[in-house]
């Protein structure tokens, strides 16, 4: 399929040629001009659109949509723009423990109460929020074997604003078999929760929101209307091509979060020696958190399948340690489609100030500096099982479907439960379904 | 400090041992494929990261850069 | 002119699979085009910048062929089918030699994809380029024009 354009045309170098090429050349010869060459591949846009549904049984549901636009310019310069919109609804655990009787709690805003039936894990269903996020990232080579990238991020929801910048540098060695990357990011977040910032360990005011003294009493439990935090991250990466089929990556990351890290909507139950709740108090977390992680990932291309497996170890100064194993196996099918099973295993230990509840006797003797009953910083194991199916449609576009099952199992980090609480489920498991559709064109 | 020391040791081993690993520039056919990219589905990764960041105590750690066709 | 187009159309239907391979194929081509300015290009179907260079190479071949300019390309795809598919979408108006084992690439010390060497009329390598950059197209073309102005002194 190639044409030898040599002067000795008569010499029968019988080579198979392409009709289009032949006609192009014929036109050139006939009209004596230079054939109009195809213009080099125009700067091209690539789009990804995705919609995801996350739904926990009896708890939180979230919908998230992403529109990603990527433009590649003439010499490997890339502009990436992303719009994300998500909406959250449903009920979240408020941190209190289940009791053998009905419990009443006040909503975070202070406007109204809600009841939880005996035996149920208390859930607060006032959470519905919509968030919009915009990201812009520019990447370009800056010298032979040097590539740089910089970006901005802005995210806004009813009570939260986050703005951030990031930058990174990549350096290639050994004919691009080895790559070092260094990156950093800085985020500034402002939180204006409904109801304001609660006073740490203040008792949750429960009564009649419509009573004349309510507003003043409620204000007594508040210390402000808003607070903020900054997050500084740094990442060092090392990528190495092992052979034609395999590549590995090793990353180290360091993250420092400073500011308001408490969850203003979460409380702890103060229970007596029998386990019966006497009071509910607002939680308090430290105003700084330093996290570090070591991550290794390997990708291996078999005959037709690709295995992606990674492990991450995270540790922080709240005494939390976690292990994450994530693996995906891509199996190509006929006609450009594929299936990809996914398995993820996660395990974390509890923060040193985590407590599922506080004993009244101890609490009254000496108030702890920090305490939180948020199961998300408690001890837990979780796993995800998923399957993705992708297919090629409409001349090179891709359509894919992903369905996953996420199971979270919080566990007892060694708290001896008083009598009443031994009959309650203090560590309820959470099941969620994740469903996603993506269309790329 | 112990963990940091381990990391530095691993990093030095990687750096010294890796000059002999790799492929010739024309042997990157498989590595050039989209499915061999270290972040082959950035949209999936972004969505998952958001879920796990909201429901667990860990986040991030994954990186960028390296692999691919090695062109230009 | 009519004879030429008829001749071309005739050979378009020829089914001969006379493809050139490896160092042997390259040596043959270089012999055949002795005295020409030769642009030796190493490419593969999976290489993005290679895709971008094809239309430009076709353009150069057309423009300077009369002055004794020849492009000889070497395909380094390990899987031949991929090279064929690529050529269906991006036809080459220049010769393609297939070197799936990369013999010639090793010999010519290819350091990146794509790599091109500009060989003068005297058969010596005058310029080497690693990578293909749209911004450098004027430079690439000037280098070709410069070498074309020289005449092979041994003639």
Per-residue HEC secondary structure of C25-49 comes to: HHHHHHHHCCCCEEEEEEECCCCHH
How many CB pairs below 8 A link B and C? 49
Give the C-alpha separation, C22 to C101, whole Å.
8
pLDDT band at B71; cut points 50, 70, 90:
confident
pTM for the whole structure: 0.86
What's chain B's average pLDDT?
84
Long-range contacts of C64-67 (CB under 8 A, 24+ apart): C64/C37, C64/C144, C64/C145, C64/C148, C65/A5, C65/A7, C67/C37, C67/C148
Asked if residue A431 and residue A335 are part of one domain, the reply reads yes
Question: Residue A95 belongs to what domain range?
Answer: 45-440
Contact A296, A250 (CB under 8 A): yes
Q: What integer pLDDT is reported at residue A16 of this predicted model? A: 38
Contact C91, C122 (CB under 8 A): no
Q: Is a pLDDT exceeding 80 seen at residue C2?
A: no
Q: What integer pLDDT is reported at residue B8 of this predicted model? A: 76
Greatest alpha-carbon pair distance for chain A in Å reads 105
> Which chain B residues are closer than 8 Å to A76 by Cβ?
72
Q: What integer pLDDT is reported at residue B64 of this predicted model? A: 66
Q: What integer pLDDT is reported at residue A258 of this predicted model? A: 95
Give the C-alpha separation, A294 to B3, whole Å.
10
Q: Give mean pLDDT, residues C62-86.
A: 94
> C-alpha angle C5/C6/C12, rounded to 5°?
90
pLDDT band at B6; cut points 50, 70, 90:
confident
Asked if residue A6 and residue A151 are part of one domain, the reply reads no
> Which chain C residues are closer than 8 Å to B26 by Cβ?
42, 44, 76, 102, 105, 110, 113
Secondary structure string (H, E, C) spanning chain A: CECCCCCCCCCCCCECCCHHHHHHHHHHHHHCCCCCCCCCCCCEEEEEEEEEEEEECCCEEEEEEEEEEEEECCCCCEEEEEEEEEEEEECEECCCCCCCCCEEEECCCCCCEEEECCCCCCEECCCCEEEEEEEEEEEEEEECCEEEEEEEEEEEECCEEEEEEEEEEEEEECCCCEEEEEEEEEEEEEECCCCCEECCCCECCCCCCCCCCHHHHHHHCEEECCEEEEEEEEEEEEEEEEECCEEEEEEEEEEEEEECCCCCCCEEEEECCCCCEEEEEECECCCEEEEEEEEEEEEEECCCCEEEEEEEEEEECCCCEEEEEEEEEEEECHHHCEEEEEEEEEEECCCCCECCCEEHHHHHHCCCCCEECCHHHCCEEEEEEEEEEEEEECCCEEEEEEEEEEEEEECCCCCCCCHHHHHCCCCCCEEEEEEEEEEEC
Q: What integer pLDDT is reported at residue A38 of this predicted model? A: 36
Q: What integer pLDDT is reported at residue C154 of this predicted model? A: 52
Asked if residue A389 and residue A325 are part of one domain, the reply reads yes
- How far off is chain C from B41, nearest CA to CA, in Å? 19
pLDDT in tens, A364-397: 999 999 999 999 999 999 999 999 999 999 888 9
Asked if residue A366 and residue A305 are part of one domain, the reply reads yes
User: SS3 of C86, please?
Assistant: helix
pLDDT band at C3; cut points 50, 70, 90:
low
Establish how many alpha carbons lie within 13 A of residue A118's alpha carbon, considering only the half-sphere containing its beta carbon.
5
Q: What integer pLDDT is reported at residue A42 of this predicted model? A: 53
Q: Find chains touching chain A: ≥3 CB pairs under 8 Å.
A: B, C
Q: What integer pLDDT is reported at residue B7 of this predicted model? A: 76
Q: Find chains touching chain B: ≥3 CB pairs under 8 Å.
A: A, C
pLDDT band at B61; cut points 50, 70, 90:
confident
Residue A425: CATH number of its domain: 2.40.160
* Residue in chain C lying closest to A18 (CA): C12
Cβ partners under 8 Å of residue A255, min gap 6: A231, A232, A233, A234, A289, A290, A291, A292, B60
Q: What integer pLDDT is reported at residue B43 of this predicted model? A: 94
Cβ partners under 8 Å of residue B8, min gap 6: none
What's chain C's average pLDDT?
87
Total number of domains in chain A:
2
Cβ-defined contact of B29 to C77 (cutoff 8 Å): yes
- How far off is chain B from C114, nearest CA to CA, in Å? 7
Tokens of A368: 């702890």
Beta-ladder partners of A374: none
Q: Give mean pLDDT, residues C12-35.
A: 77
Q: What integer pLDDT is reported at residue B60 of this predicted model? A: 82
Asked if residue A130 and residue A17 are part of one domain, the reply reads no
Cβ partners under 8 Å of residue A37, min gap 6: C55, C56, C58, C59, C62
Q: Domain for residue C26, yes or no?
A: yes
What is the strand order of the sheet C125-130 is part of? Answer: C20-21, C95-98, C69-75, C37-43, C115-119, C125-130
Asked if residue A205 and residue A149 are part of one domain, the reply reads yes
> Which chain A residues are closer than 8 Å to B8 by Cβ?
none
Q: What integer pLDDT is reported at residue A34 of this predicted model? A: 37
Residue C136: CATH number of its domain: 3.40.30.10
Contact B41, A367 (CB under 8 A): no
pLDDT band at B18; cut points 50, 70, 90:
low
Residues in chain A, pLDDT under 50:
1-41
> Which chain A residues are closer than 8 Å to C7 by Cβ?
9
Alpha helices in chain C (DSSP H): 2-12, 22-32, 48-64, 80-89, 103-107, 137-149
Give the C-alpha separation, A289 to A260, whole Å.
10
Among residues 57-116 of chain C, which lie with CB inside 8 Å of chain A? 58-59, 61-63, 65, 70, 84, 87-88, 91-96, 111-112
Q: Is a pLDDT exceeding 60 seen at residue B62?
A: yes
Asked if residue A92 and residue A14 are part of one domain, the reply reads no
Cβ-defined contact of A24 to C17 (cutoff 8 Å): no
Give the C-alpha separation, A96 to A113, whole Å.
15
Asked if residue A65 and residue A17 are part of one domain, the reply reads no
How many CB pairs below 8 A link A and C? 104
Q: What integer pLDDT is reported at residue A26 of this predicted model? A: 45
Q: Domain for residue C23, yes or no?
A: yes
Nearest neighbour of C111 by CB, restricted to A24, A39, A175? A175
Q: Find chains touching chain C: ≥3 CB pairs under 8 Å.
A: A, B
Question: Within 10 Å of residue A189's Cβ, how many Cβ atoms?
Answer: 18
> Which chain C residues are closer than 8 Å to B32 by Cβ?
46-47
Total number of domains in chain C:
1
Q: What integer pLDDT is reported at residue A11 of this predicted model? A: 37
H or E stretch covering B42: helix B42-55
The predicted complex's ipTM stands at 0.86
More reliable by pLDDT, C6 or C98: C98
> Which chain A residues are closer than 8 Å to C58 by Cβ?
37-38
Asked if residue A201 and residue A60 are part of one domain, the reply reads yes
- How far off is chain A from B31, nearest CA to CA, in Å? 7
* Pairing relationship of beta strands C37-43 and C69-75 according to DSSP bridges: parallel
Contact A189, A180 (CB under 8 A): no
pLDDT band at B37; cut points 50, 70, 90:
very high
Whether residue C114 is preceded by a cis peptide bond, meaning omega within 30 degrees of 0, is yes
Q: What integer pLDDT is reported at residue C1 of this predicted model? A: 62
A84-95: burial string, b at 16+ Cβ within 10 Å, e else: bebebebbbbbb
Give the C-alpha separation, B36 to A306, whole Å.
7
Q: Domain for residue C14, yes or no?
A: no
- Cα-Cα-Cα-Cα dihedral sign, residues C122, C128, C133, C139: negative
Asked if residue A221 and residue A84 are part of one domain, the reply reads yes
Asked if residue A421 and residue A358 are part of one domain, the reply reads yes
pLDDT band at C19; cut points 50, 70, 90:
confident
Contact A429, A410 (CB under 8 A): yes
Asked if residue A304 and residue A273 are part of one domain, the reply reads yes
Question: Residue C128 belongs to what domain range?
Answer: 19-149
């Amino acid at each position: 399929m190639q044409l030898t354009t040599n002067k000795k045309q008569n010499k029968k170098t019988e080579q198979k040629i392409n009709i289009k090429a032949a006609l192009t050349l014929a036109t050139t010869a006939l009209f004596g001009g230079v054939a109009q060459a195809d213009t080099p591949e125009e700067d091209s846009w690539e789009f990804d659109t995705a919609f995801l549904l996350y739904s926990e049984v009896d708890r939180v549901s979230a919908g998230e949509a992403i529109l990603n636009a990527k433009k590649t310019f003439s010499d490997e310069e890339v502009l990436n723009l992303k719009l994300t919109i998500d909406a959250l609804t449903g009920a979240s655990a408020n941190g209190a423990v289940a009791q053998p009787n009905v419990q009443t709690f006040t909503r975070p805003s202070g406007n109204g109460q809600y009841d939880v039936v005996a035996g149920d894990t208390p859930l607060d269903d006032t959470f519905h929020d919509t968030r919009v996020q915009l990201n812009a990232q520019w990447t370009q080579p800056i010298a032979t074997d040097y590539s740089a990238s910089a970006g901005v991020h802005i995210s806004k929801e009813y009570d939260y604003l986050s703005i951030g910048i990031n930058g990174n540098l990549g350096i290639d060695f050994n004919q691009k078999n080895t790559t070092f990357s260094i990156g950093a990011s800085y985020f500034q977040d402002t939180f204006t929760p409904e109801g304001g910032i609660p006073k740490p360990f203040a008792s949750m005011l429960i009564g009649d929101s419509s009573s004349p003294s309510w507003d003043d009493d409620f204000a007594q439990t508040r210390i402000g209307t808003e607070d903020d935090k900054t997050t500084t991250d740094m990442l060092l990466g090392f990528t190495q091509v092992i052979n034609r089929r395999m590549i590995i990556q090793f990353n180290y990351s360091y993250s420092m979060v400073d500011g308001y890290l408490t969850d203003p909507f979460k409380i702890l139950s103060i229970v007596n020696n029998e386990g019966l709740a006497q009071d509910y108090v607002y939680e308090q977390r430290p105003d700084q958190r330093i996290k570090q992680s070591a991550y290794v990932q390997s990708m291996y291309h078999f005959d037709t399948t690709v295995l992606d497996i990674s492990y991450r170890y995270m540790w922080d100064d709240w005494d939390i340690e976690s292990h994450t194993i994530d693996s995906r196996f891509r199996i190509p099918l006929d006609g450009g489609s594929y299936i990809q099973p996914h398995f993820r295993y996660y395990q974390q230990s509890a923060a040193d100030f985590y407590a599922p509840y506080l004993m009244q006797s101890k609490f009254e003797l000496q108030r702890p500096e920090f305490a939180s009953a948020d199961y998300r910083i408690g001890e837990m194991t979780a796993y995800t099982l998923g399957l993705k199916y992708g297919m090629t449609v409409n001349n090179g576009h891709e359509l894919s479907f992903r369905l996953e099952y996420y199971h979270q199992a919080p566990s007892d980090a060694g708290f001896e439960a008083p009598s009443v609480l031994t009959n309650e489920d203090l560590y309820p498991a959470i099941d969620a379904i994740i469903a996603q559709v993506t269309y790329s064109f | 400090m112990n963990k940091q020391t381990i990391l530095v040791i691993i990093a030095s081993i990687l750096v010294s041992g890796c000059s002999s690993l790799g492929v010739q520039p024309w042997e990157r056919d498989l590595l050039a494929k989209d499915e061999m990219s270290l972040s082959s589905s950035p949209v999936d990764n972004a969505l998952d990261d958001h879920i796990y960041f909201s429901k667990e105590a860990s986040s991030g750690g994954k990186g960028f850069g390296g692999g691919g066709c090695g062109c230009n | 002119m009519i004879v030429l187009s008829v001749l071309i159309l005739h050979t378009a239907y020829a089914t001969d699979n006379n493809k050139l391979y490896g160092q042997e194929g390259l040596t043959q081509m270089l012999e055949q085009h002795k005295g020409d300015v030769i642009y030796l290009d190493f490419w593969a179907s999976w290489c993005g910048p290679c895709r971008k260079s094809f239309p430009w190479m076709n353009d150069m071949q057309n423009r300077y062929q009369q002055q004794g300019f020849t492009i000889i390309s070497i395909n380094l795809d390990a899987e031949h089918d991929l090279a064929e598919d690529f050529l269906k979408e991006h036809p080459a108006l220049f010769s393609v030699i297939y070197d799936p084992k990369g013999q010639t690439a090793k010999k010519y010390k290819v350091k990146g994809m794509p790599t091109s060497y500009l060989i003068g009329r005297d058969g010596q390598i005058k310029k080497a380029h690693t990578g293909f950059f749209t911004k450098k197209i004027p430079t690439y073309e000037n280098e070709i024009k410069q070498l074309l102005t020289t005449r092979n002194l041994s003639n």
